[in-house]
Amino acid sequence: MATKLVSRMCGVLTVVLLCLGVIAPMALADDLQDISGATVSASNATYTGVAITPAVTVTLNGATLSASTDYTVAYASNKDAGTATVTVSGKGDYTGTATGSFTISPASASKLTIGEAGPKVYTGEPRTVSPVVMFGNTKLKKNRDYTLSFENNVHAGKAKVIVTGQGNFTGQKSAKFVIQKAPLTKVKVSKIAKKTYTGSAITPNPTITYKGTKLKKGIDYRLVYKSNKNAGKAQVVVKGIKGGNFTGKKYVTFTIKRAPVKNAKASSISDQKYTGSPIKPTPKLTFKGKKMKKGRDYTLSYSSNKNAGTAKVIVKGKGNFTGKKTLTFKILTVPITDATFKPINAKPYTGDLVRPDPKITYKGKRLKQGADYTLSYDNNEYVGTAYVTVTAKGNFTGSKTVSFALVARSVAKAKFSDIMPQAYTGHPIEPNPAVTVKGRRLVQGTDYTLSYADNVNAGSQAKVYIHGRGNYTGDAVAYFRIV
């Protein structure tokens, strides 16, 4: 290689290098211009997520240098928002460096893409989401590139997430997410104590909580009831309210116990007259002012309800009622004169006291001596009018006297003692046989008289005639022989 000084013109010394027949001009170091005093400018830009290299203008002594021949460019801090630095380094006829700057402004949050978030379920507390936020194809980082805030994010409905740019981003962009209603199956319902049948619908108001917070009836839920009047299993149905925070239903059961029938009110039972048959009055029963129905709400049975005295009606609960209630009523004795007395047929004289038992009936049933009445007699031994006094007892009261006739007994069937054959005397023979009627020996002159026929001659059949008198009547004949 050989060096040859060729020429100097316009203040520039040109050195020509001869190398292998190639001539290359070369500036000498003491002739290069220093660009450190140049003005370096570049257009401001907006953050893009990648390094920004805007075109640079370099002006030195009023002349604009050429990027292709006069300088090279290097950038620093030219990606993130802020002030970026441009450094130009001279080349060719220039030497040294000069710096300039340009501003990278944060990108608008409106350019961000907010990924879908939610849905969330109502909890009673503020609900938050963490959506994916993209800038182009770049996923941003929370609390570096943006912060999140929320609006309307407690109650069920449309909530808002607000992305506020920071660092390389500025401004805000919002998106909506859904807070779904919480299922009522998740609430807790306080235990409902057993209720007692009242005759009206029973509407308990249990305490309902969700995640430890007491809910408000009419705001968070409403209650409807099923099978809540009669004894048995009833239901409370917890339902959501339109515009509220809950949805669906929750079923809660409670027990309605049967009411004690003793708490029912019964009409008084008027006194009843003895009839000879069981008496079964039907009292009217009410419960809390409502009429009860026999066979549905209760049954009736009776005790001591035939004879005079205090009778009982036993009310036994049925259906919505349980237990028993005992009512009492009086069965009054009736006057014995209300009974029917059958006339007493005439009774024949017996020689003893005659005590007939009259036939007495009441409402078709025969009364019993000793149970329903006692008897006493007057003038009941000899022929004439006798009297029976019926004195009531038990179910009857008072007394009644009836009469009957004592009539003379016939001697037609009298029995005679045997009359031995009598010896002929030529005079009337008048034997005096013993006479009995029904086993009772009669007294001659008091109970009978005697007369005779064919009682003189032997061989004839003599006759003795008995003629009743006093308490006896009629005639009888006995025979004897005269020999």
The pLDDT of residue 338 is: 96
Q: What percent of the chain has pLDDT over 90?
A: 93
User: Taking residues 408-418, what's their average pLDDT?
Assistant: 95
Query: How many alpha carbons fall within 13 Å on the CB side of residue 389?
Result: 7
Tokens of residue 168, six digits:
């390389």
CA 109 to chain centre: 60
Q: Which residues pair with 422 in a beta bridge?
A: 482
Is residue 345 classed as helix, strand or coil in its secondary structure?
A: coil
Sorted by sequence, the CB contacts under 8 Å of residue 339 that are 6+ apart come out as: 360, 361, 362, 367, 396, 400
| Mean pLDDT of all residues in 448-461 | 94
Q: At 110, is the pLDDT very low, low, confident or very high (cuts 50, 70, 90)?
A: very high
Strands (E), 20-70: 22-27, 33-34, 39-42, 45-46, 56-60, 63-64
Compute the average pLDDT of residues 352-366.
Answer: 96
| pTM listed for this prediction | 0.66
* pLDDT of 159 strictly over 70: yes
pLDDT at residue 118 in the model: 78
Write down the pLDDT at residue 31: 78
- The answer to whether residue 7 scores a pLDDT higher than 80 is no
Tens-digit pLDDT profile for residues 72-102: 999 999 999 999 999 999 999 999 999 999 9
pLDDT in tens, 272-323: 999 999 999 999 999 999 999 999 999 999 999 999 999 999 999 999 999 9
User: Taking 80 as the threshold, does the pLDDT of residue 173 lie above it?
Assistant: yes
Give the contacts of 231 (CB within 8 A, at least 6 positions apart).
197, 256, 257, 258, 259, 319, 320
Res 382: pLDDT: 95
pLDDT of residue 15: 40
- Give percent of the chain above pLDDT 70: 94
